[in-house]
Amino acid sequence: MARKEVLFVTEASGLVQNIQALDKFENQICVFKGGSSGSHSLCFVGDTYVLSAEKNKPLIQVWSLNRVSQQTIRIVTPAPVLSLAVDPSGSFCAGSCGEKILIWQLSTGHLVKTVTRHYQDVTTLKFSDCGGFLLSGGGEGAVNVWLLSDLVDQIGGNQVPEPHFSFAHHAVAVADIWIGFGGSRSRFASCSGDQTCNLYDLTSGTLLLKLIFDVGLKCVTSDIIESSLFLGSVDGRIFQVNLHPPPRVVECHITSESEELKKKTFFGHTGPITCLTVSRDGTLIASGSTDNSVILWDISSKNRLRTFLQKGAITNLKFRLMSRNMERDTLKQSHVIASFKRQYEDNPCNIAEVVMASKMIEENVTLDDVRETPGNPSVPELQNEIDELKAEKEMLYQICVKEVLNKCNSDAKKHQKKKKKKSP
């Protein structure tokens, strides 16, 4: 049976719950209690865990996704986490504490790298769908693109890598980042309170489109086929921008009062839009606002379908296929999360702890248990083979030298005989 899509909602008050999962008919499927989540901090680790950063506290809350007896893990961080992201494989977690980006390995909790390349607080973090890139937006208006391979590289110790790309097209803090599908060939967009939204190509780092509005922007997203951008504004409106019209200049000015844009604008919120998410089939969009409401819209008609009232400002929204664990009483674990280390620990012995998803090995394995096969010769055998090749090479060299000398002597004798015959 096909899994249905669920809308995950977090709000700032924390009076009733931290996270709730709703279906499209406002039925509550699951509730996760304890604390309140900050913006840009709702993440999932496979179908096993959901986690979020506690607002204004150095704490990350982790809940298992099973229906009953939810396991809760509280992870202490060096400072309050402003944004949080988990790579699609569920191997690494990136969090921002002030202007620093911290990378943890989820299975061991090791702090792999600490990166400082922003001059003000890092406001948002996003991984690409392939997990190979991490995008960060800062309070100074910069957007950096990082290679995950550089961020988890242990050869250079805790040396800070350089960004793969760096952009400084915003005048004020980056409010949100969206990245599409396609791995290294995907597109991504950033928006800001400076009334601009920039669309980039991840492969080349080229600025494809710069949208300039007459109102500040708070969040950006797109549908699954990336035919339209949806932008939430500070005055409560949501703009839809078609990405498939005829070719146009890179810099495009859009007046929100124009009749053409009004036909593609969602009206209904009374406060700034804080988050947007589009359903997988591209027919619905959910919006959250500081007016304590979540509105479910039909994209084609711009009609309001449902309104979910909450106790506080909406901080995160996410459409996601319902986890199979949410239908189970007992958690079926596919990932492991350990408590995060607060400091980088050097590993002079080059020893890595490997956490296996399945219990394939029931007891410890030593080198005595490993058999050598003919395809993997030992070092002494290889050294003997090298010595034999060197001896054969020396023998061939001596033969060649001898042949060359004999030929030279023979030519010299022939030349001498010819000279004697010519002399009177």
Beta partners for residue 190, in sequence order: 177, 198
Per-residue pLDDT, 360: 47
* Beta sheet of 100-105, edge-to-edge order: 83-86, 92-97, 100-105, 111-115
User: Lowest mean pLDDT: which of 160-164, 284-288, 374-378, 403-407?
Assistant: 374-378
Q: How many angstroms separate the CA atoms of 298 and 21, rounded?
A: 20
- 180-182-185 Cα angle (round to 5): 100
73 backbone dihedrals φ, ψ, rounded to 5°: -120, 130
Q: Which residues contact 144 (CB under 8 A, 6 or more apart)?
A: 117, 118, 135, 136, 138, 163, 165, 166, 167
- Tens of pLDDT, residues 115-167: 999 999 999 999 999 999 999 999 999 999 999 999 998 776 667 789 999 99
User: At 422, is the pLDDT very low, low, confident or very high (cuts 50, 70, 90)?
Assistant: low
- 226-229-235 Cα angle (round to 5): 160
Q: How many angstroms separate the CA atoms of 373 and 85, rounded?
A: 44
- Tens of pLDDT, residues 275-290: 999 999 999 999 999 9
Once rounded to an integer, what is the mean pLDDT over residues 409-424? 72
DSSP state of 182: S
Of residues 6, 56, 14, the one with CA closest to residue 310: 14
Q: Which of 15-19, 110-114, 348-352, 412-416 has the highest mean pLDDT?
A: 110-114
The structure tokens listed for 305 are 């379908």
DSSP state of 330: S
Q: Are 90 and 144 in contact (CB under 8 A)?
A: no
- 203-248-303 Cα angle (round to 5): 90
According to DSSP, the β-strands at 217-222 and 207-212 are: unpaired
User: At 367, is the pLDDT very low, low, confident or very high (cuts 50, 70, 90)?
Assistant: low
Look over the chain and give the mean of its residue pLDDT values, rounded to a whole number.
87
- Tens of pLDDT, residues 175-190: 999 999 999 999 999 9
- Tokens 């990136």 belong to which residue? 94
Query: From the centroid of its chain, how far is CA 121?
Result: 19
**What is the secondary structure of 145-179 as a DSSP string?**
EEEHHHHS--TTTTPPPPPSEEE---SS-EEEEEE
What letter represents residue 260's amino acid?
E
Q: Which residues contact 14 (CB under 8 A, 6 or more apart)?
A: 34, 35, 36, 55, 312
Q: Is 371 a residue whose pLDDT tops 90?
A: no
- Tokens 């070719």 belong to which residue? 247
- pTM to 2 decimal places: 0.79
Of residues 37, 49, 46, the one with CA closest to residue 9: 37
Once rounded to an integer, what is the mean pLDDT over residues 79-92? 95
User: At 70, is the pLDDT very low, low, confident or very high (cuts 50, 70, 90)?
Assistant: low
Beta partners for residue 80, in sequence order: none
The kind and range of the H/E element at 319 are strand 314-321
Q: How many CB atoms lie within 10 A of CB 387?
A: 10
Rounded percentage of the chain residues whose pLDDT exceeds 70: 87
Of residues 85, 72, 190, the one with CA closest to residue 129: 85
Q: Is 423 a residue whose pLDDT tops 80?
A: no
User: At 75, is the pLDDT very low, low, confident or very high (cuts 50, 70, 90)?
Assistant: very high
Per-residue pLDDT, 231: 97
- Tens of pLDDT, residues 304-346: 999 999 999 999 999 998 887 777 767 777 788 888 887 776 6
Q: How many CB atoms lie within 10 A of CB 243?
A: 16
The kind and range of the H/E element at 33 are none
Q: Are 81 and 41 in contact (CB under 8 A)?
A: yes
- Tens of pLDDT, residues 201-244: 999 999 999 999 999 999 999 999 999 999 999 999 999 999 98
Q: Alpha-carbon Rg of the chain, whole angstroms?
A: 31
Q: Which long-range contacts (CB under 8 A, 24 or more apart) does 261-266 make?
A: 264/239, 264/240, 264/302, 265/237, 265/238, 265/239, 265/240, 265/302, 266/237, 266/238, 266/240, 266/295, 266/297, 266/302
Q: Which residues contact 48 (CB under 8 A, 6 or more apart)?
A: 64, 65, 90, 323, 325, 331, 332, 333, 334, 335
